[in-house]
Structure formats: C-alpha cells, structure tokens
Amino acid sequence: MSVSWRGLEARVPLDDLPAFHRAFLSWRGVAGAEEMPLRRVQQRVEAELNRWVQSGEAAREGEDLRVRRAALNGFEAARPWLDGAAPGAHPD
C-alpha cells in the first residue's frame, strides 16, 4: 500500500502544516528543524522526499510522490491523517 504525499499534506489543516513538516524533519533525524525558517523547512522536506525516491521507499507520480505506507511507520504526527484515510491511498 502506498500513500500520496500531497494527499497527506492536503489532509493536514493549513495552520498545522509547518509543524507537521518540522515534525517530519525531526523524525527523519534532521537537526534544528524547530528553529529553521519556513522556506528552509520546505526545502529540507523536499530533500528528504527525494532520499525516499532514491532508496525506493517512494516513487514520483507526476507532481505527487507515492510513499510506501511502511516508510511512514513511527511518524506519529502523520497518524491522525493516515489512520482510515482512504483518499490518496491505493495498493502497490
């Protein structure tokens, strides 16, 4: 099963998106995510997503990224939008 990264972001309330991205970076081991300016956070999120593509944990699909559901295990900030969230999810 894979999840649409853009679909996941779309389910996160807009006001919560910067905190969601910072939590993602912290979960991925990026130091100083909480203090980063928002533009830098966005750049680092894209860099981490590209790492997933390179490692085979995700695949580009047009403007979107299909992330293997297992790659998100342990990312607690995503849980409210992943559990039972059918939009953007489909079997691999």
Q: What is the pLDDT of residues 52-66, one digit of tens each?
A: 999 999 999 999 999
Give the C-alpha separation, 70 to 62, whole Å.
22
| Residue 26: inside a domain | yes
| Residue 91: inside a domain | no
For the chain, residues with pLDDT lower than 70 are 83-92
| Residue 47, pLDDT score | 97
Domain that holds residue 30: 2-85
| Residue 92: inside a domain | no
pTM metric for this prediction: 0.86
| Residue 61: inside a domain | yes
CA distance between the termini of the chain = 5
Q: Helical H runs in the chain?
A: 5-11, 17-27, 38-55, 79-82
| Residue 90: inside a domain | no
| Residue 1, pLDDT score | 85
| Residue 88, pLDDT score | 43
- Residue 2, SS3? strand
| Residue 91, pLDDT score | 36
Q: How far is CA 6 from the centre of its chain?
A: 8
| Residue 50: inside a domain | yes
Q: Provide the domain count of the chain.
A: 1
Q: Are 24 and 34 in contact (CB under 8 A)?
A: no
| Residue 15: inside a domain | yes
